[in-house]
């Protein structure tokens, strides 16, 4: 696993409010954890 201080999201979601970079880490069979910070729609979340 890449150290968290060097990790860069590899996927982008584009919407009318802007773009959100995202990615998946960890065990795909484990429960998901979603972290949001500074997204274009953060004032709506």
Identify the pLDDT of residue 39: 57
HEC per residue, 20-41: EEECCCCCCCCCCCCCCCCCCC
Identify the pLDDT of residue 45: 57
Distances (CA, A) of 18 to 2, 4, 22: 27, 24, 13
Residue 26, in any domain of the structure? yes
Tens digit of pLDDT per residue, the chain (45 long)? 555 567 788 899 898 878 888 888 889 999 998 877 765 665 555
Residue 3, in any domain of the structure? no
Residue 35, in any domain of the structure? yes
Q: Domain tally for the chain?
A: 1
Task: Find the domain containing 40 and state its range.
Answer: 11-45
Residue 31, in any domain of the structure? yes
pTM metric for this prediction: 0.53
């Amino acid at each position: 696993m890449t150290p968290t201080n060097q990790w860069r999201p590899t996927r982008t979601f584009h919407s009318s409010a802007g773009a959100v970079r995202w990615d998946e880490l960890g065990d795909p069979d484990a429960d998901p954890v979603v972290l949001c910070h500074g997204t274009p729609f953060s004032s709506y979340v």
